Structure 1
Amino acid sequence: METYKIRFEPLGLSGRCRADESLLACAQSTGIGIISLCGGEGNCQSCRVQLLEGMASKPTASELKAYSRQEIKEGWRLACQTYPTSDGKVGIPPASLTTTQRVQTEGQEVGIEPEPVVVPYQLKLSKPSLTDAQADAGRLLKALNRQHRLRCDSIDIGALSQLS
């Protein structure tokens, strides 16, 4: 059985669809929930999709009843009644999705510079002596404040034990 690659927009997900498999079944096997209150019988018209690219089966009687000629020309179909005949792209309106779309996968890309969790700082610490018996942690905190104007209230004991 021949299969076709179908891309579902605006989700940006693609799946392989058999020629004898409706767009509704293909979407479901790809992990996309499309509302189908009538169970794929073509009666409820809740599985509206738009064929954006590619070819599909001829409109069924249910689709001719659901859509005007203009809407059919624009690619509007019922996912439960439409079978692919080539690779294609299918648009799913928000009203047909079982869950709301959370992530927009297309549009203007914005570069985001990561902010590292750990930032290295070079420090010069005074050596401990008999006259300056301050703990190493205190000496480290004081150096961070003086040399880099950083205020830190505590140091992780695991990190402190790794310092040489």
Structure 2
Amino acid sequence: MDPSLATSLSFDVLLAGTLPFAEVWLAAAIVGVTASAFASGIPGTLLPISFSSGALLGGWLAILVVALGATVGSLVLYLLFERGSQAALLERYADRLARAEQFTSKAGILPIIGARIIGIPHVIITALCALGSLGRSKYVFSTFMGVLPAIVVSATAGAAI
């Protein structure tokens, strides 16, 4: 194989020559994949996405991109629970949901941040928050703060590769 041809077909040269702003497109794709995984409720996706994003994008950009995707996906799932199933669940489980609402209204965001940090599945946390009286802005903030430590550790480990 001609050495000049091998040099011109390297991955870095192809990305630089054919895809301007390749890192931006990759970051946008990772935001979309992360948001889709969180919005669909797939468990266990945060760490692999964070790790691979850290390896592909580097530490700080990967942290920002994955945190943004996780927050957007969680908000979509929150809105689906809030609008789609609130009436049906309130009709069937009114007494249990009243206790959950009292807990979320009294406790605030710290238990939600803690639940995210210790790894309780986000579908459960999101459903409780959507059916309770926490509010969207508090939910978004607590979700962002709760997933951030895991993203930082995993993306930093991925960037070290």
Query: TM-score when scaled to structure 2?
Result: 0.20
Which structure: greater helix fraction? 2
Query: TM-score when scaled to structure 1?
Result: 0.20
The higher relative CO (CA closer than 8 Å, separation ≥ 6) is in 2
Which structure: greater strand fraction? 1
Bigger CA radius of gyration: 1
